[in-house]
Amino acid sequence: MNPFLLLAGIVVGAGVFAATLWSATQIYRETGALRQAHAACFLLTLLAMAALQFLWQTPSRILGGLLIAAALWAFWSEAGWNRLLPVFHILFGAALVASLPFSG
C-alpha cells in the first residue's frame, strides 16, 4: 500500500472524528439551520461508518454524496475558523464517493 495514501487516510480519519464530535456539540449548543446542518453531518457520518462496517459499497457511496451536501451546508452556515471542521466531512464523503475504502 502507498504510504502517502495510508497517511492521508489517518489524517482524514482523525479529522472526521474531531468534526463529528464538533457536530455533536453544535447540535446541543446551536439552533436553526446550523443545528440542522450539523445534525445531518453527524447522522450521515454514523450511517456511512456503519455502511463501511458491513462492506456495503453502493450505500456508502450514496451516503458519501449526501454527506458532502450536508457538510457544504454546515460549511456555509458556520462562521470563522469553525468552517474548517466540515471540510473533513467533505473529504470523507469524497473518499466514499470515490470508493477509496474499498480499493485496496
- pLDDT tens digits along 15-38: 999 999 999 999 999 999 999 999
- What is the DSSP track for 18-31? HHHHHHHHHHHH--
CATH of the domain at 91: 1.20.120
CA 64 remoteness from chain centre = 8
**Structural domain that includes position 95:** 3-102
* pLDDT above 90: percentage of residues in the chain: 75
Cell of residue 34, nine digits: 446550523
Q: How many domains does the chain have?
A: 1
Closest of 96, 87, 36 to residue 66, by C-alpha: 96
